[in-house]
A and B are shown apart, each in its own frame.
Chain A
């Protein structure tokens, strides 16, 4: 089992191992483990100067309604309560909307903001004020219109199980920036449909899978010492393990033993660094207030603040998932879309501000979107067949995203949908294109970041993807 075997963790390059010899192996292994960008993992493709080093991917689970937030469609009023013409609906798939559904004009007021004049609805007052820091994409497209498959597509570029996620590819391609935190961390306010596969490693080595920090209980499985074991005791146990492993290494000269010694040391550091990371109560009150974060709560505001703390400490890829955007009903009701927006708007804006103030926004690409958008038509009947508060169904052909930082052009509104918001009228941007562009910002050619599996070189963008040059700053 050698280092060029893709199934083996690439953590210790063989040359470092050979240099080390038997003596002092632990420390050398450790150094190379910590060596961040310097060969600690092999970059998969030729690289050019990256703009971004980190990604914070804000995934609004369920699919936010672009026509009520970012993409005003006044023309929908024409078909309010009347069936949309067949010429528009032809060939479209919807999960729950029946044939002949009428349009639903947005009840929310849209205004242009900032020098860029980007449109925001009244549901997003805080983000609107940062219009000139943001890039709005109004022509997003995906292939999938159900949550599970849609989540997979958003993160892996493929609607079925088995492919690596974006974060896993980034971990594989660029490696770690931190000596005591994982490369790819996932935070979530609630359950997502695709489960672990939304941050899975697919066919990449499992060392690249996202580490899901749980919101309740321990943030990482088995992080805490067992009951009755204090830090000193844990330390002597690990030192004891390493002493024997050192002897085993002398016996077998197996480089895997060297890696294991280093990983036990890393585990010990994680036990200290993760709890420290999670202690948002150490933030000054004005920072907590800006996000609306409350220590001990489990909401999105806390996760945004944690996202910044992670980036600050060297986590490369943070995936934050906020549940509650599947508005089949409740476009109007205070408990529906407005509430989701209220909980999302301020923390997200605070995150952008905070990153900017700390000089982190330049090298952190923030992506905000859903696995798809929502229909311009009304969904007036629940899946159970009852009349209900108006909502919107899943919509894959034209939805919106927001980008910020990391080398994207601020103030740009890219792409546009047709009169009714069904599909792009200009500059369509498929999720593959989003992946290709984001990888480009990280300094990776999406066509060269490949992994051979079952006889084929796979990549995140499959055989698709286009770097959208207009979007680069």
Chain B
């Protein structure tokens, strides 16, 4: 109480202090002070009680003013009387803070002094504060600002003495728009009309057309699948395949339908708990089931389960709250206000889930990922096909058994003759070497198996059986993994230090106290959690989500640490813009398309991405957006683009994962035993969009890994964007791209009655959309003739030229 009254008194004195302080330049607690305290002090003087030294915590205003041993950590207005300042400046290493760490920088000390002088005001961490709907600021050049986004951007640019860049060249802008909305560049024919008569209306019409394109959902689902750690295998040892692709298709459909984001959230987290859930709502809960599973036989069931629950807690916290709750799994969070108990209350929501693993295989050597599943109905035609193949399979099985049975009669004779056969597997040799009565069951099995392999009538039938069961697998009704809770509530314990079996107190499901409160009447299950997340009281979901959309389009979030909105994360570059977008998102009825539309129709987005030495120097990361975005495409978009520009891309949507050609044997290098085959797809299935490529966590498609696609072992809010020689080797030599170059060459050569120049321009435009400059055209011409000089025929020369074009930086970049 006394602190509070003190604070009130202090506030009254603030205007005077502020004016003084204003002369030195504004100090902002969130931007300038909190990061220093967080980095240097919170480890011992933060939220974690166990590691707290001297009872002092600096992350909260309440305790810093208390007197300890005649001293106060902070005396607002008086750095000289503040022990904090004395201790960071001390020359005595046994007193200087942080103990055992490096001295704070001079500028940091100065900032803290200024802040204490100004009254040491604390603010609630920005991300947890309720979103305002800020007014866009006034700007000088109102003509430039097409929508409020531009006013926020222009306002900051003006303050920095910068001007926006000119509008991007029309073709370059079209390319950018196509890549951002559908992930595939436009072909010349698609935009010729627009280029002939560019207008604002035509631009807006193109935006609408692309937002309605089914390819839009395929493109935007990809970033969500990174967050959802969607994959087609279990990960870890064995890395067995799992069937959950209907979840992937559900996400694509949800983006295409512009499903409101609150509904999108509830259905994925808790669709199973909705009253009478539809098939789609159940499929959506696959979100939770995307967690990796350690299938090794020796691993302990409760550890495997715990790892999956921890993954669900951490993923949910990252995706919808942007908080690093995972740090509180073993101890109370060092930097953000989350206790270990709160961690396990969150965990309790997921602890209700049914068991998901079962030991199978000879001797229980392998865990299978089971749990709740649902069958997706198939067409009657497929149903009858399936039934027919199944009957054939059963019949052939019988025939094979009979053949084996008949063959066994010859086994004793055969065994006699093998005693000197050195070509048999060692296990069989040692089994044969034993007297009959000493052979174990496994010895006999080994001998029997080796014998049957010598009998062609058995081997042939087994081969046929294999083919039939493959066919059966493709025709069988699809199942997909879904979430389900146990009927009776489960008791959840706090796990001390995060260790299994190290039980602390029991905890009830609940949410961190720092965040908004659980509304009344919410059930204590995942549905309650989901409804708490989408509550209008929650400022985090909207901020975190719009920030990711921004980041996908501009290459960098308004908050650069898209996965961490906590105190250790990056402060927003444009806090008011972030809040404005968040508020718009909520008011639009959580329409994702409406936010994306706002962004891509802004003048900010339409700027040229050409840099200059000055801009490079002033704002190398383009945080102020004085120019348009320019960065390399995602792994999937690179492949999709190269297939599209060469005319090979299949736009077939949905269905089971496809297996494009990849270097041989990759899948055999995982567990060595029982690895599934890689049944390379045929025909158009080899050239589907990347989102449909099978993702086996232990051995993902190498062309994607090389371009930074994550293996989906955990939730990923951002992808790296590296630039490596292995990427060059892939685009130069991967047979898929050689095929693409040949297709592009053929397409260009097939144009009737065209000059070299026409063909060169057309090929260039297919790859990078814009027309070549004069210099570029000369270079194209020079190259073509150089290739002609060293080629046996015209096709070879054009293929080489196409290879050059497919490898250009601009071809794999959004400019």
Contacts and interface: CB of A to CB of B under 8 A. Distances in A.
Interface of A: 1-5, 7-9, 11, 14, 18, 93, 95-96, 145-149, 160-162, 188, 190-191, 193-197, 200, 205-207, 211, 214, 216-218, 220-228, 232-234, 236-238, 240-241, 243-245, 247-248, 251-257, 259-260, 263-264, 266-267, 270-271, 323, 333, 335, 382-388, 394, 452, 454-456
Interface in B275-301: 292, 294, 296-300
A95 B298 contact: yes
A17 to B, nearest CB: 8
B800 A7 contact: no
Contact of B779 (A162, A243, A454): A243
Nearest to B366: A383
A237 B630 contact: no
Given A96-B298, A238-B732, A206 B672 contact: no
A147 B237 contact: yes
20 contacts: A1-B556, A11-B723, A147-B237, A148-B294, A149-B299, A160-B307, A161-B714, A206-B722, A207-B724, A238-B732, A240-B801, A241-B804, A244-B776, A252-B610, A335-B430, A382-B363, A383-B297, A383-B363, A394-B298, A455-B327
A221 B237 contact: no
Q: Which 5 A-B pairs give the minimum distances between C-beta atoms? A: A95-B298, A195-B698, A191-B672, A384-B363, A267-B728
Interface in B347-367: 362-365
B173 to A, nearest CB: 14
A211 B727 CA distance: 12
Nearest to B786: A236
Contacts of B706: 206, 221
B724 A263 contact: yes
A386 B729 contact: no
Contact of B809 (A160, A257, A270, A385): A257
A369 B217 CA distance: 49
B563 A454 contact: yes
Interface in B644-693: 663-665, 668-672, 675
A147 B670 CA distance: 12
B776 A233 contact: no
A11 B721 CA distance: 13
Contacts of B776: 244, 247
A452 B796 CA distance: 49
Interface stretch (B25-33, B66-74, B453-461, B733-741): B733-741
Given A206-B724, A223-B733, A323-B672, A2 B620 contact: yes
Contacts of A147: 237, 296
A5 B557 CA distance: 12
Interface residues of B, number: 106
Given A191-B670, A271-B729, A382-B363, A456 B327 contact: yes
B722 A207 contact: yes
Nearest to B323: A455
B326 interface: yes
B730 A222 contact: yes
Interface string B318-338: 100000101100000001100
Nearest to A255: B616
Contact of A253 (B239, B610, B699): B610
Contacts of B362: 383-384
Contacts of B726: 211, 220-222, 267
B185 interface: no
A14 B620 CA distance: 9
Given A1-B556, A149-B299, A206-B724, A224 B733 contact: yes
Nearest to B702: A221
Interface of B: 235-237, 239, 292, 294, 296-300, 307, 318, 324, 326-327, 335-336, 362-365, 426, 430, 440-442, 555-556, 560-561, 563-564, 566-569, 609-613, 616-617, 620-622, 630-632, 663-665, 668-672, 675, 697-699, 702, 705-706, 708, 711, 713-714, 718-730, 732-735, 738, 773, 775-776, 779, 783, 786-787, 790, 796, 800-801, 803-804, 807-810, 813, 815
A196 B442 contact: no
Contact of B729 (A223, A243, A244, A257): A223
B790 A233 contact: yes
A324 to B, nearest CB: 10
A112 B738 CA distance: 60
Contact of A455 (B364, B568, B621, B796): B568
Contacts of B720: 7-8, 205-206
A221 B730 contact: yes
Given A1-B555, A146-B294, A196-B705, 12 more contacts: A2-B620, A8-B723, A9-B723, A18-B617, A161-B235, A161-B714, A194-B237, A197-B698, A197-B713, A217-B663, A323-B672, A455-B568
A270 B697 CA distance: 27
A248 B235 contact: no
Given A8-B721, A217-B664, A161 B292 contact: yes
Nearest to A147: B237
A386 B723 contact: no
Contact of B722 (A95, A205, A233): A205
B725 A267 contact: yes
Given A206-B722, A236-B790, A245 B631 contact: no
A36 B670 CA distance: 34
A196 B616 contact: no
A4 B675 CA distance: 41
Contact of B725 (A95, A270, A385): A270
A240 B804 contact: yes
B735 A248 contact: no
Contacts of B738: 226-227
Nearest to B675: A191
Contacts of B729: 220-223, 267, 270-271
Contacts of B363: 382-385
Given A1-B721, A248-B809, A455-B324, A386 B783 contact: no
B800 A236 contact: yes
B254 to A, nearest CB: 26
A224 B796 CA distance: 18
Contacts of A227: 738
A191 B663 contact: no
Listed residue (A207, A222, A226, A236) with the most chain B CB atoms within 10 angstroms of its CB: A222
A384 to B, nearest CB: 3
Nearest to A151: B237
A191 B668 contact: yes
Contacts of A238: 728, 732
Contacts of A3: 620
Contacts of A196: 698-699, 705, 711
A325 to B, nearest CB: 13
A22 B397 CA distance: 71
A233 B800 contact: yes
Contact of B807 (A95, A200, A232, A241): A241
Contact of A247 (B563, B665, B775): B775
Contacts of B804: 237, 240-241, 244
A386 B108 CA distance: 68
A2 to B, nearest CB: 4
Contacts of B732: 222, 225-226, 234, 237-238, 264, 267
A254 B630 contact: yes
A453 B610 CA distance: 31
A386 B783 CA distance: 69
B128 to A, nearest CB: 14
A385 B555 CA distance: 56
B50 to A, nearest CB: 13
A388 B568 CA distance: 55
B733 A226 contact: yes
A18 B616 CA distance: 9
B663 A221 contact: yes
Nearest to A244: B808
B365 A383 contact: yes
Contacts of A251: 610
Contact of A232 (B663, B733, B790): B790
Contacts of B730: 221-222
